Structure 1
Amino acid sequence: MPRPDHASSRFVVLSGCSGGGKSTLLDELARRGHACLPEPGRRIVAEELAGSGAALPWVDAAAFARRAIAMAQADIAAAADQPGWVFFDRGLVDAAAALAHLCGVPLIESLGPVRHYHDEVFLVPPWPEIYVQDAERQHGLAAAEAEYARLLQAYPALGYHVTILPKVSVAERANFVLARLGAR
């Protein structure tokens, strides 16, 4: 499989609908030896639940989005030394799209002019049969689907090519992603 040299061309985002299987797919890619960064949102919720809770998405969604932007930027910087493909469970564009939706802040203001990720972004579609709410994902499927619709617009608006992942087993999804990246 080709190994791109420039960091941003090695950084692959898995995004899309909450509860669509992104984290499970990342676990499979990590099991196969690829570097993977967990979703900023889940990490922030865990930190906030252990702390003041001021930036929980159901308490202050804008503060949550700003923290997610900062964490995604730190993840990008931290991943620069990783060899080969580096997979991100969501990322900077997701957080910036949330902030744009909540506060009207233009995407480019949160992102800057630099391309941060590989030009192909993989989105998991809504998959009601596997969607589960939990202590860290308190929003319902309708909110997840609305977020998915925003991401379907945000990534192409920034020049990324969106590939929708099929609703297949996790192993088949991992094979699909790696085959697509190998073909580009």
Structure 2
Amino acid sequence: MNTKKIVITGGPGTGKSTLINELIKRGHTCLEEISRQVILDAKKEGIDQLFLTNPLMFSELLLKGRQKQFVDAELFKNEIVFFDRGLPDVLAYMDFIGDECPENFIETCNKSKYHTVFILKPWEAIYTSDNERYETFDQALEIHDHLVKTYENYEYNLIDVPFDTVENRTNFILNKLKM
């Protein structure tokens, strides 16, 4: 089966995980964001902020995990699988902090293409920080710009998800996919 891989992306605190949880609740197959697990695993090793301390290692771990998700999506044998962030997010965040992307990162994004990408704009009304999300709202705005630029560099036509209730945002995505 040729599974349609659908990305829901956006800067920190835009409601991606909430939408993924709603899609799961409605019976859709979703692969959750892995960065929090990478951060928590690093904390167990005594590294408080791996992304800040060793951004390349953090990015390599994310790329590897997201590539595994991309490949594993075919195992579900579903017509559609949703992803909380995609491979190009790794490159966008590296660009945000001013790091160069290794060639294998670029190659991975070139050969692993998603069917559709939905993007959520920063929404100050719902933005919160926590132990794993250390960015300010202004940084979330900047990250959004890097995400747009990166996905467009890989020739994706981004679909903006409007600000609305979780139910309406989810309906918007499903309607765009004609589900």
* Residue in 2 that maps onto 1:59: 53
* Residue in 1 that maps onto 2:166: 170
In 1, Cα distance between equivalents of 2:84 and 2:48: 23
* Residue in 2 that maps onto 1:93: 88
Q: Which runs of 5+ in 2 are unaligned?
A: none
Q: Which runs of 5+ in 1 are unaligned?
A: none
The residue type equivalent to 1:69 in the other structure is L
The residue type equivalent to 1:180 in the other structure is K
In 2, Cα distance between equivalents of 1:110 and 1:103: 17
In 2, Cα distance between equivalents of 1:173 and 1:89: 15
Q: TM-score, normalised by structure 1?
A: 0.87
In 2, Cα distance between equivalents of 1:178 and 1:97: 26
* Residue in 1 that maps onto 2:113: 116
* Residue in 2 that maps onto 1:104: 100
Alpha-carbon distance, 1:100 to partner: 4.2
Alignment match of 1:135 (pick from 131, 140, 143): 131
In 1, Cα distance between equivalents of 2:92 and 2:108: 10
Query: Does the 8 Å contact 2:95/2:146 carry over to 1?
Result: no
Query: Does the 8 Å contact 2:8/2:84 carry over to 1?
Result: yes
How do 1:38-77 residues align onto structure 2 when only pairs under 5 Å count?
38-53=32-47, 56-77=50-71
Give percent identity, aligned residues only.
30
Q: How many positions carry a matched residue from both structures?
A: 176
Q: TM-score, normalised by structure 2?
A: 0.89
CA-based RMSD: 2.0
* Residue in 2 that maps onto 1:159: 155
